[in-house]
């Protein structure tokens, strides 16, 4: 059964308890028309059938991870109150929970003090981080690797900050020689270091970039939207693990609890090492901030209204699964990592396939072997469709020739990029399902290659 429903009983009990907090009010009972609700909900559930089966382990395509049941329950419970975390007037309890949850994320990165908050997602979080960076660097240039998230360039456009790309090495990490050349030849104010790229999960060489910072003066913003929680995992390659251990030395960090933190969408987080950057947010809202002298989250965030429910869900999840090494949360993330290592080994040991690079997190990118980039691309697309037809869902990634020329030296580059298959093994269950995934991939590959022979 894909849809877990047992936890709904827990929600009902919790709502009864919540109600006990409001018994001294004059009698008032909001009414519903169950029949009308039912009618629409039949339509809603029918419409929602039109989706890939994201929660199932046979879905291993895009970055989609089911929220933990505790996150769903806590979020749903909060909706009966619907707090707004802009100000304490709109969400007292949920604002306190947000501060606690965000402080726990900061501690995961080794920061005992910080300034930070939740926001809509990684893009919004990066926007805030680069806005502060621009303010502190006299609006100097921002650079990010060619494989950094595409929104950095656009964010800089919005902020009116100059932006430039730095080429990548064959592991899709920021190339240090190229970065040094940028630092020598232009006025770089901020380097965006990606801790887990969206396409391949590659981790930029943070320790070396920190060394360059002591030579050249620039800010470091770590985009750990995808990879941040891997800080807790003990089965990374040594180089990758070392990069994560240096995260406490950067100036700002973005991490998405709605990617690997078991949260529903709408939960990003931005953190600054220096709490005094809060001064840039200063504004004078005539509507809010009358209820107490305590910090209102709206005083330190660019967005105004924000869902308190997101904070409640995150707080509850961290309560059940604390962000500590060797805890259940870390163990589960380690399983995703292990599943990726397994899949990579199977691919590399199979003469029909080859990996695009060594996976650093839980994302594996690979393609069927063929003589040219064009042939590889059409085989990948064929395999993407054939596996989907057999109930196994991967994603597609287009990688530039420059990234693969080294590793795939025998390929004829008849086009500028190559389509590969990409798999985000984000669920811990993927580890137990990897044999089944492989069997289906094997069957689909035989069919695709057979059709190709015939064609
Ligand atoms: C997903 C992602 C983003 C964007 O985050 P959203 O939550 O989708 O807005 C930014 N950077 C990286 C590295 C990402 O993986």
On whether both 265 and 351 belong to a single domain, the answer is: no
Label residue 127 by pLDDT band (50, 70, 90). Answer: very high
**In a domain? residue 105:** yes
**How much distance in Å is there from the Cα of 452 to the middle of ligand 1?**
37
Cα angle 287, 102, 129; round to 5: 75
| Extended strands (E) in 131-262 | 141-145, 163-166, 188-194, 219-223, 252-255
List the alpha helices (DSSP H) in 390-429: 401-404
On whether both 342 and 259 belong to a single domain, the answer is: no
CB atoms within 10 A of CB 248: 15
**How much distance in Å is there from the Cα of 225 to the middle of ligand 1?**
5
**How much distance in Å is there from the Cα of 123 to the middle of ligand 1?**
6
CATH number at 200 reads 3.40.640.10
Q: Three-state DSSP class for 305?
A: coil
Mean pLDDT of 63-80: 98
The reported pLDDT for the residue numbered 110 is 98
Label residue 291 by pLDDT band (50, 70, 90). Answer: low
Label residue 1 by pLDDT band (50, 70, 90). Answer: confident
Label residue 299 by pLDDT band (50, 70, 90). Answer: confident
Q: Which atom of ligand 1 is nearest to the CA of 258?
A: 7
Pocket of ligand 1 (CB under 6 A): 121-123, 126, 149, 151, 194, 198, 223, 225-226, 256, 268
On whether both 395 and 435 belong to a single domain, the answer is: yes
**How much distance in Å is there from the Cα of 221 to the middle of ligand 1?**
14
405's CB contacts (< 8 A; 6+ apart) are 170, 411, 413
Contact (CB, 8 A) for 297 and 117:
yes
On whether both 166 and 208 belong to a single domain, the answer is: yes
On whether both 215 and 146 belong to a single domain, the answer is: yes
Pairing of strands 395-400, 188-194: unpaired
> What's the CA gap between 137 and 134, in Å, rounded?
5
How many residues can be counted in the chain?
A: 455
Label residue 286 by pLDDT band (50, 70, 90). Answer: low
**In a domain? residue 56:** no
The reported pLDDT for the residue numbered 67 is 98
| Extended strands (E) in 8-156 | 115-119, 141-145
Contact (CB, 8 A) for 264 and 54:
no
The reported pLDDT for the residue numbered 289 is 64
Residue 280 DSSP one-character state: G
pTM, rounded to two decimals: 0.97
The reported pLDDT for the residue numbered 454 is 79
Contact (CB, 8 A) for 361 and 333:
no
Q: Three-state DSSP class for 48?
A: helix
* Residues facing residue 399 across a β-bridge: 418
**How much distance in Å is there from the Cα of 158 to the middle of ligand 1?**
17
The per-residue pLDDT of the chain, averaged, comes to 96
**In a domain? residue 55:** no
Is the pLDDT confidence value at 455 over 80?
no
347's CB contacts (< 8 A; 6+ apart) are 353, 354, 355, 364, 366
Contact (CB, 8 A) for 110 and 271:
no
Is the pLDDT confidence value at 254 over 80?
yes
Residue 134 DSSP one-character state: H
Q: Mutation test of ligand 1: which of 62, 119, 120, 121 has the most ligand atoms closer than 8 Å to its C-beta? A: 121
* Domain tally, the chain: 2
Q: Which of 8-12, 115-119, 150-154, 283-287 has the lowest mean pLDDT?
A: 283-287
The reported pLDDT for the residue numbered 295 is 82
| Greater model confidence, 282 or 110 | 110
**In a domain? residue 11:** no
Q: Three-state DSSP class for 224?
A: coil
Instruction: Supply the range of the domain harboring residue 400.
Output: 328-454
On whether both 311 and 342 belong to a single domain, the answer is: no
CATH number at 420 reads 3.90.1150.10
Contact (CB, 8 A) for 302 and 283:
no
Label residue 75 by pLDDT band (50, 70, 90). Answer: very high
> What's the CA gap between 172 and 197, in Å, rounded?
8
């Amino acid at each position: 059964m894909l849809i877990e429903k047992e936890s709904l009983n827990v929600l009902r009990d919790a709502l009864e308890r919540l109600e006990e907090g409001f018994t001294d009010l004059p009698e008032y009972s909001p009414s519903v028309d169950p029949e009308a609700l039912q009618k629409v909900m039949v339509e809603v559930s029918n419409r929602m059938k039109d989706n890939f089966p994201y929660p199932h382990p046979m879905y291993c395509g895009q970055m989609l991870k089911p929220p933990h049941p505790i996150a769903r329950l806590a979020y749903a419970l909060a909706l009966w109150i619907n707090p707004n975390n802009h100000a304490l007037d709109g969400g007292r309890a949920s604002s306190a929970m947000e501060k606690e949850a965000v402080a726990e994320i900061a501690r995961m990165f080794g920061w005992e003090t910080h300034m930070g908050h939740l926001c809509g997602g990684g893009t919004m979080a990066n926007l805030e981080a680069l806005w502060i960076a621009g303010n502190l660097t006299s609006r100097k240039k921002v650079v990010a690797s060619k494989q950094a998230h595409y929104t950095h360039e656009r964010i800089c456009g919005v902020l009116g900050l100059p932006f430039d790309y730095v080429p990548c090495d064959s592991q899709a990490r920021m190339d240090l020689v190229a970065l040094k050349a940028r630092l020598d030849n232009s006025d770089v104010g901020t380097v965006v270091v990606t801790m887990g790229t969206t396409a391949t999960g590659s981790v930029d060489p943070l320790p070396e970039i920190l060394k360059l910072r002591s030579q050249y003066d620039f800010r470091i913003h770590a985009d750990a939207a995808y990879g941040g929680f891997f800080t807790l995992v003990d089965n990374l390659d040594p180089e990758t693990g070392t990069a994560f251990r240096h995260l406490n030395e950067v100036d700002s960090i973005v991490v998405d609890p709605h990617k690997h933190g078991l949260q529903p969408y709408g939960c990003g987080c931005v953190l600054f090492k220096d709490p005094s950057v809060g001064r840039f947010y200063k504004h004078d809202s005539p509507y809010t901030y009358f209820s107490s002298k305590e910090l209102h989250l709206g005083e330190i965030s660019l967005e105004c209204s924000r869902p308190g429910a997101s904070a409640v869900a995150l707080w509850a999840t961290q309560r059940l699964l604390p962000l500590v090494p060797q805890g259940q949360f870390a163990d589960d993330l380690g399983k995703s990592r292990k599943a990726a290592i397994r899949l990579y080994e199977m691919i590399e040991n199979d003469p029909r396939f080859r990996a695009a690079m060594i996976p650093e997190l839980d994302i594996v990118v690979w393609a069927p072997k063929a003589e040219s980039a064009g042939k590889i691309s059409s085989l990948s697309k064929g395999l993407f469709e054939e596996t989907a037809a057999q109930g196994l869902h991967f994603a597609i990634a287009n990688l530039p020739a420059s990234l693969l020329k080294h590793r795939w030296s025998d390929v004829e580059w008849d086009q500028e990029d190559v389509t590969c298959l990409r798999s985000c093994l984000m669920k811990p269950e993927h580890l137990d399902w990897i044999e089944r995934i492989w069997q289906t991939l094997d069957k689909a590959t035989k069919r695709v290659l057979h059709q190709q022979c015939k064609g």
